[in-house]
Amino acid sequence: QGKVTVNPALKGVTDNLIPKLCYAMNKEFEPMASEAMALCLSEIIKLAGPECLTDAFAADVMKSISVTWDEYVPRFDHRHDSLEDDGEEDIAAAVEAAGEGDVDALDAVIALFGQLVRARKESIWNLFQGYHNTFFKSVTSHHNSIRRVGLCLYIELLEGLAEAAEAYIGQMASMLINACNDKYIAVKQAAVFGLGICCQFGGASFAPHVPALLQFVQSAVATPVEEDAQGHFKDNAVSAVAKALQYQSQACGDAGQVISLVLSNSPLKFDVEEAVHVNKVLCSVIETGAIQALGSPSLWMHKVLSVFTSQVGTDACNAELQVRFGA
């Protein structure tokens, strides 16, 4: 490979802005300001690419992520104690409502972390390990939003590492499976989305966990959808099974049951990105003949045609799928 040429003007901008934004993030803790700075840093890393992100800059960004996290997460405990002293009846709901801005800031920090992971795949795990305890305690928080953002940060790590994540997925799979039983629907959605990522990138390391994923989803999809949050959760659960079918077929057991689980819960109605993926998996199942595991075409053809025709003309049917649907 040839030597990568770094745009001098762009490098000059990043060399100037990254240290200043990191410094500001470590000092300014108003939620909208933190959110804006994190998003700005995220865009700089995305546009500049890894060539402009030196080891020192990566360490500075990771430190700023940790400092911001350490500032906002404890605020939920402080609010809880304060509201308890004030005699608030529904303390949990009041804490969540008061912390919406803080959660927005943390979500922006997670997006920044995702960009950092993608830019520093080779070295991010060692860099992250120094801050692991800061983030891991969020996953077991008694505050719903904090458990969600904690999981989302780890999922960003797995998704950003992509194929390089296989070495670490064994350590995280049990955490995600346990979180699928959380009482808060947004935590469950994050967990099952993360398990889909594990299916995709986990290889043999995740194969032993596939039966637990399938068992959970079979139970989860039986619950009627009464609100959008449940719909998004169900869509992510079905998509996780589709990813198991695509990337972990040897661990899926009865292929007919797994294909039926995906097909019977299609089309997805709430998450367009996951709907596209599930539609592609259904196309592959038909194109490879794997759908014969369901038996005679008379048993499944009507459902397949119903799913495909309902998707044509929607965002869940991109140019590739239009061709495959018509094949």
- Contact (Cβ atoms closer than 8 angstroms) between residue 142 and residue 182: no
- C-alpha 244/C-alpha 252 separation (Å) is 7
Please list the rounded mean pLDDT of every run of 10 residues in the chain (327 residues).
60 88 96 97 89 89 97 91 75 86 96 95 89 92 94 95 88 91 94 96 94 93 85 95 95 93 94 95 94 90 92 91 82
Q: What is the DSSP letter of 293?
A: G
Q: What is the predicted pLDDT for the residue at 2?
A: 45
Q: What is the predicted pLDDT for the residue at 170?
A: 81
Among residues 28, 40, 97, 94, which one has the least CA distance to residue 67? 28
- C-alpha 9/C-alpha 16 separation (Å) is 11
Q: Is the pTM of this model over 0.85?
A: yes
Q: From its phi and psi, is residue 270 left (phi > 0), alpha (psi between -120 and 50) or beta?
A: alpha
Q: What is the predicted pLDDT for the residue at 191?
A: 96
Instruction: Compute CA distances 241 → 156, 190, 220, 259, whole Å.
Output: 20, 15, 12, 9
Q: What is the DSSP letter of 28?
A: -
Residue keyed to tokens 């040897």? 250
- C-alpha 326/C-alpha 15 separation (Å) is 51
> Which residues are CB-contacts of 129 (< 8 A; sequence separation ≥ 6)?
none
> Which residues are CB-contacts of 310 (< 8 A; sequence separation ≥ 6)?
267
- Contact (Cβ atoms closer than 8 angstroms) between residue 177 and residue 216: yes
